[in-house]
Amino acid sequence: MVTAIFLGGKQMERNIQTINSLIDILDLSKEDGEMVKDAIKKEGLLKFVNGKGQEQLTSDVCEKVSALHEILLLVQDDDSFLMGGDLGDK
């Protein structure tokens, strides 16, 4: 499967910025940040956020990534959320 990360040029620049943003969002220490970078290099950003390659990370970091993943899923479901849909009928 193609992982659209680390492709080079402007995209690489964008990806580096994205990873740096991720590290800021998660408030990671330098050491945790490096581990996250390694995991993303290995798995790709999407898979990492979806929970792969997190074996070496601390439970605190995993919890933060999980929180981010949940927000991403909730944002994807935003239309259903607004309309009621499967999520309730507020």
Partner 1 sequence: MTSRKVYEESFYKNLNKLTGIPVGKIKAYAKENNPFNILEHPMVVEPNERQLDKINKLNDFISTYNVLRMEEENTRIQITCPQDAGDYFNALIGNKRDRERFMVAFLDTSNKIIETKTISQGTVDSAVIYPRDVLKMALANDCKGILLAHNHPSGKMIASTPDIAITQRMLNIFKPLDIKIIDHVIVSAGKYLSFAEEQMLEDLNNGLADYKPIKIGEDVVTENDELEI
Residue (2 or 59) nearer to partner 1, CB: 2
Question: In angstroms, what is the minimal distance from the CB of 59 to partner 1?
Answer: 13
Q: Would you tell me which residues interact with partner 1 (CB under 8 A)?
A: 1-5, 14-15, 17-18, 21-22, 24-26, 45-46, 49, 51-52, 63-64, 67-68, 70-72, 74-75, 77-78, 81-82, 84, 86-90
Question: In angstroms, what is the minimal distance from the CB of 32 to partner 1?
Answer: 15
DSSP codes, 14-33: HHHHHHHHHHHHHT--HHHH
Q: Which amino acid is at 71?
A: I
Contact (CB, 8 A) for 49 and 72: yes
Half-sphere exposure of 4 (CA within 13 A, CB side): 5
